[in-house]
Structure 1
Amino acid sequence: MNRRTLLVSAAALAIAPAAWSNERTLYVPGMAEELMERGEVMLLDFWASWCSTCAAQDRVISALRAENPAYDKAIRFITVDWDEHGRGELSRALAIPRRSTLVVLDGRREIGRIVAGTGRAEIKALLDQGLAAAMS
């Protein structure tokens, strides 16, 4: 990791806790990797502003987070802008096939993944897996 990436990551992590409660935390290189090293549970949302599937997923996730505040206490929600980072190191390392991919990690261990799914039950099950991992 170069010095610039380290400084940007450190700054992002310093301000991120305030932004994590039910808001979109935008990924910067090194952010998720640092949380992985710390063993945090996170949902990475590989998203594009122009993607209708991403918008549908976002509506479901927002509704579920509003209904169950435990998600925000246990899971870090990070949005990875596909247009900016879709071909980046994080996407390659996790073998992300496309935008509208949701991945829940417990540290570096992948707990679950949804590719282009928008069903409430499917997304809730993914968030519940993250919640269970955070509680164990």
Structure 2
Amino acid sequence: MHRRHFIALTSAFALSPIALHAAPTLSTPTQAEAAMKAGKVVLLDFWASWCSTCAAQERVLTDLRAENPDYDRKIAFFIIDWDQHSASNLSRRLNIPRRSTLVALNGQTEIARIVAGTSKKDIASLLDQALAAAPA
């Protein structure tokens, strides 16, 4: 194989997961606040498209949600675009320090949060705490 072909094929293979991976469905702070005011258990994911930590958290959340369907049945997930909503009332009220912040709430009451953490064990613990707060 010619060196040029090898480099082209290797580059295409290495970049293919990025091209195939779609951006998550984003929510607005207003949508999240409505669910919180309704007393739902929510997980707020303050996310940025350029953030590698956010991407790692997203992969872990996707895996955990696939492993345990109760997460999706009992927790309302909201992905808030940090670049657009970092100065929102919701971000300020919850003292969100940065993107890659995950916050679980039962209505208006914070259950727990993770800032810039990507450990599957820690994120599973956060989701399990939210699940425990959800009505049966």
Pick the TM interval, shorter chain: 0.7 to 0.9
Question: Would you say the 8 A contact 1:24–1:78 is kept in 2?
Answer: no
- The amino acid of 1:83's aligned partner reads D
Aligned residue runs from structure 1 range 91-110, under 5 A: 91-110=91-110
Q: Which residue of 2 is the match for residue 81 of structure 1? A: 81
Q: Offset of 1:29 from its aligned partner?
A: 3.8
What is the TM-score with the length of structure 2 in the denominator? 0.80
Q: Which residue of 2 is the match for residue 130 of structure 1? A: 130
Question: Would you say the 8 A contact 1:24–1:77 is kept in 2?
Answer: no
Q: Which residue of 1 is the match for residue 31 of structure 2? A: 31
Q: Which residue of 2 is the match for residue 119 of structure 1? A: 119
RMSD (CA atoms): 1.4
Q: Residues 84-105 of structure 1, C-alpha deviation per residue, up to 9 Å, x if partnerless?
A: 0011111001000000000000
Q: Which residue of 2 is the match for residue 66 of structure 1? A: 66
Matched positions, count: 114
What is the TM-score with the length of structure 1 in the denominator? 0.80
Gaps of 5+ in 2: 1-22
4+ residue segments displaced more than 2 Å: none
Q: Offset of 1:24 from its aligned partner?
A: 4.3
The secondary structure found in structure 2 opposite 1:26 is: coil
Bigger CA radius of gyration: 2
Aligned residue runs from structure 1 range 34-49, under 5 A: 34-49=34-49
CA distance in 1, matches of 2:90, 2:25: 16
The yes-or-no answer on 1:52 pairing with 2:52 is yes
The secondary structure found in structure 2 opposite 1:110 is: strand
The secondary structure found in structure 1 opposite 2:28 is: coil
Between the two proteins, what is the percent identity of the paired residues?
61
Question: Would you say the 8 A contact 1:25–1:77 is kept in 2?
Answer: no
Q: Residues 18-52 of structure 1, C-alpha deviation per residue, up to 9 Å, x if partnerless?
A: xxxxx944222421111111100000000000000
CA distance in 2, matches of 1:111, 1:58: 20
Gaps of 5+ in 1: 1-22
